[in-house]
Amino acid sequence: MSERSEALGPWAGFGAVLRTWRERRGLSLRGLAERIRWDHSVIGKWEQGRNAPSAAAITALEGVLATGGELTEAALRAQAMEVERLRGEIRRLRNRTLPARAESTEDVDHMERRAAMQFLAALGTTAVVPPSAIQAILSEVNRAIGDRGDFDLDDWDRTVWEYGFRTNSGPLGALIGELTADIVQVKRLLDDNPTPSERAGLLRIIAGLNQILAGELTHMQEPSAARRAHATARRAADASGDRDLRVAVRAGHAWNAYALGEHPRIVLRRLDDAIHIANGAPSAGLANAYATRAFVLAVQADAGDGDKDAAVDALHNLHDVFERLPASATEDEVSIWGFAERALRFSEAHTFALTGRRREAEQAISQAFALYPPELVHGLANLRLIQAYTLVRQNDIPQGLDHAMATVQDVPITPARRRITGQVINALPEKARSLPAARELHALAISGASPRDV
């Protein structure tokens, strides 16, 4: 997006935000200009709303002012308003110069889409947008993105599955923008009066997209936004009438909520709800519900506040479900929508380790490592931390700490990974907690950063 010297009403709001943050940081126009490569007179025009800054300028301003994405949000809103203004001008021009010709929306759509998506793409790789604002921002430009024609539910199903793979294998939080854009597009399809069967299918898509979005937001430690996404997923799944999906979104919510620190009692109630809805029907969601239940109960038992037998009982329930799962679930090795044998062995490893069943834990860890696809880097990292925990429990402190530190060196510490890392630290004997490696591991677990980031 180039800078324009004309007065742009939509950018007045951006200018006000920029001025507020500049003054909050105690910077004059010249002082800010010294920190970025734009002249103070240009910055002054941005603050007056007379010029629209480029995406690179917004990124530079964010870097200096550290607004937490507020400035970027204001820029996106201004761009959305400008797209709407452009659309209106095109319509007025067409009506004035070509009165006998029916307005073609195709050219307008193309111009809108190009303007909005170029700006969003430029910002997307360099600027920080608050996750809670993304959906609201994209709602304002929903007419400027996506196709406006027929849709194929099978294509959308494949898209949801692909997201389910990418969230397991890619950079944390990287899907938030794409997911939000697709959610907006599916929302538009729902608004176009689909048939009842199409509506049910679109509701399934909305539920799946929001479920993955909630997981991405959980990884980024955005609990409020994650809760809203989970609530949308749950409502959409319920409205779709798809029982297995209703179970899956509740099981996923329970896992993410526990990772973010929700009280175990509430988490177990969420899992009970999922299990009740399943009514014994085997599905990947029900398997995940029992796996999470076993994990939560095992953590409580490890902390001296629970029943080890109850955790193992949940694992037995998981085995029963796994034996009855359809091939579509057990053969899905890489996405969150399946429950393959590697997921079963992972659950065994974690539960057996926390309940003190060393031999069973070692066997399950070995089997899980043999089954894990290498691209599932996040699951493998968690499995290595479970292995580190078992080593510490066996009093092999140096090797256990080495395993844990090696694991967190190359992967971010998500809320779930922080919990497992905390279990490694808590398993250390009191004297060992003063070791340099133990102190460093504890510091990293608290900060959520990897050594590469520090």
Burial 351-361 (b: 16+ CB within 10 A, else e): bbbbbebeebb
- The answer, yes or no, to whether residue 102 has pLDDT greater than 50, is no
For residues 79-94, give the mean pLDDT. 61
CB 336 within 8 A of CB 161: no
The pLDDT score that the predictor gives to residue 449 is 47
Percent of the chain with pLDDT over 70: 81
Q: Which of 10-24, 84-98, 117-131, 339-353 has the lowest mean pLDDT?
A: 117-131
- Domain ranges within the chain, ordered by starting residue: 9-97+113-121
- The answer, yes or no, to whether residue 372 has pLDDT greater than 90, is yes
Backbone angles phi, psi at 175, to 5 degrees: -95, -5
d(CA 157, CA 155): 5
115-134-210 Cα angle (round to 5): 120
Instruction: Pick 9-97+113-121's CATH classification: 1.10.260.40, 3.30.2320.50, 1.10.579.10, 1.10.287.130.
Output: 1.10.260.40
Q: Which two tokens stand for residue 41?
A: 């007179």
Q: Which two tokens stand for residue 234?
A: 């749950």
Give the mean pLDDT of the chain.
83
Q: Which two tokens stand for residue 257?
A: 């909520």
The pLDDT score that the predictor gives to residue 354 is 94
Task: Report DSSP state, residue 36.
Answer: S
Range of 246-250, 380-384, 393-397, 404-408 with top mean pLDDT: 246-250
For residues 86-96, give the mean pLDDT. 55
- The answer, yes or no, to whether residue 7 has pLDDT greater than 50, is no
For residues 414-428, give the mean pLDDT. 89
Is the entire prediction scored with pTM above 0.85? no
Tens-digit pLDDT profile for residues 208-224 = 999 999 999 999 888 99
The pLDDT score that the predictor gives to residue 82 is 67
Which residue has better confidence, 49 or 86?
A: 49
